[in-house]
Amino acid sequence: MGFLPFFSFETWILLISFVFIFVLYGHWTFGVFEKLGIPGPKPMMYWGTVNRYNQVYYLDDNECAKKYGRVWGSYELRRPMLAVMDPEMLKIILVKECFTFFTNRRNFRLNGDLYDAVNVAEDDQWRRIRNHVTPSFTSGRIKEMFSIMQHHSHKLLVRLQSKMDNKEVKVITIKDIFGPYSMDVMANCVFSVDLDSINEPSNPFITHASKILRFPVPLFLFQGCFPIFLPLLELLGLSLFPKSSTTFFRAVVEKIRAERNESSRKNLADILQNFINYQTNKLGKERENQGLNDHEILSQVTMLLFAGYETSATTLAFLAYTLARHPEVMKRLQQEIDLTFPQKGPVQYDGLMQMEYLSSVVDECLRLYPPAARLERMTKETVKVKGITIPKNMIVMIPVYALHRDPELWPDPEEFKPDR
């Protein structure tokens, strides 16, 4: 024993107790799915089943689906997650029982200024916010935004043509084109501001929107391994969303609102003005059918901006990629465009909505490359779905990427076939 450090008996007891508790805590949440009879990969202490079969999480989901079927149990660090791909179960979770047992999304709690965004809010608050956000995306509202999209689409074409004419440019990073385009459209639709970031890629809107979903890895790992410290982390004001980015968007929205209060620009029909028109700061039961308060407006506008920017830009980039790889599809799509808008006529909203092959091409692209590779819900109570018991507060994860590659639902799932 002489080779061991000299510690007192009490110190050794403390060290051994610490190691025992540390190891026990690292395994404490494991074994949930074995008790429920649900298959899945074997977890490792603290790390769970993260990247067990592939370093890319959605490819890992795909491998798990091949190995364990349409329902399996996994662990994100110490947190149990039930993966569900069964179509009948999904109908119950996402539709039939959505407002009873599966209303809420996963809440990391370290949300910073975005604690009341529509994708974070829960229960009655979520219902109220959702009721005020969804009217901004009705077919009528989108038709009103169509002229804005046309304006920025013209600028996009001019920008692409200038890139093509520049002989010094050998390679075009298409995401760097579609990203600013998406941001310009979103900013104009949300608060009637023309950023012109298509011609100014260094626009701070692009910079902050790109940063806001890049979670700090050390903080993410710490909160996942030691959720017992979440209240302390919240008290310290730590957030998974970069504070500099949320502060930037808050300052922009506050400046725009102040300018509107001082001018006559209150007859605008953008999303921000719609929120303001129905706003209230009243408390109590009266708020159930009332508008959003100042902070809720800020959170929704911020979330719409960066979520719309990222998903739209990614979809457009993959759409260009798939069309480039399938010239026969591009040729047929061009024929439909020429038939719908002959002699290179202006694009009209009603005509665009009648383009069935275009819709099929976009749908097939979204199947192969979904901008959100996973969806998540939280169970409010223990519930049994198709004979499977889902405990209270369990994360139900829908592996969208893997679901879209289920060969029983999509024959030749890796093939791009718009005529499915």
> Which parts of the chain register pLDDT below 70?
1-5, 262-267, 280-290
Q: Is residue 260 part of a domain?
A: yes
Residues 98 and 204 in one domain: no
Same domain, 284 and 168: yes
Residue 250 lies in a domain: yes
pLDDT, tens digit, 9 for 90 and up, residues 261-286: 766 555 677 899 888 887 744 444 45
362 belongs to a structural domain: no
Distance, in Å, from the CA atom of 177 to the CA atom of 26, rounded to the nearest integer, reads 45
CATH number at residue 133: 1.10.630.10
Q: Are residues 133 and 237 in the same domain?
A: yes
Are residues 300 and 402 located together in one domain of the fold? no
| 43 and 90 within one domain | yes
Give the span between the Cα atoms of 400 and 83, in whole angstroms: 10
Are 154 and 299 in the same domain?
yes
Residue finishing a domain among 306, 330, 359: 306
Q: Which residues are 83's β-sheet partners?
A: 72, 397
- Choose one of 278, 306, 334: the last residue of a domain: 306
Q: Is residue 351 part of a domain?
A: no
Say if 393 falls within a structural domain: yes
Residue 1 lies in a domain: no
- For residue 395, the enclosing domain spans 18-102+370-420
Same-domain pairing of 182 and 59: no
Same-domain status, 165 and 234: yes
Closest CA to 76 of 396, 400, 389, 311: 396
Residue 267's pLDDT is: 60
Q: Measure the CA–CA gap between 104 and 376, rounded to whole angstroms.
A: 9
Model pLDDT, residue 259: 83
The answer to whether residues 86 and 123 belong to one domain is no
Domain count for the chain: 2
CATH code at 84? 3.30.43.20
Domain-located, residue 253: yes
Domain check: are 158 and 71 in the same one?
A: no
- CA 176 to chain centroid: 20
266 and 207 together in one domain: yes
For residue 165, count CB atoms less than 10 angstroms from its CB and return exposed for 0-12, middle for 13-18, buried for 19 or more: exposed
Q: Of the candidates 306, 324, 358, which is a domain's last residue?
A: 306
Question: Do 239 and 388 fall into the same domain?
Answer: no
What predicted TM-score, i.e. pTM, was given to this entire model?
0.90
Determine, yes or no, domain membership for 311: no
pLDDT at 285: 46
CB atoms within 10 A of CB 373: 19
Buried b (16+ CB within 10 A) or exposed e, 265-296: eeeeebbbbbbbeeeeeeeeeebeebbbbeeb
Q: What is the pLDDT of residues 345-386, one digit of tens each?
A: 899 999 999 999 999 999 999 999 999 999 999 999 999 999
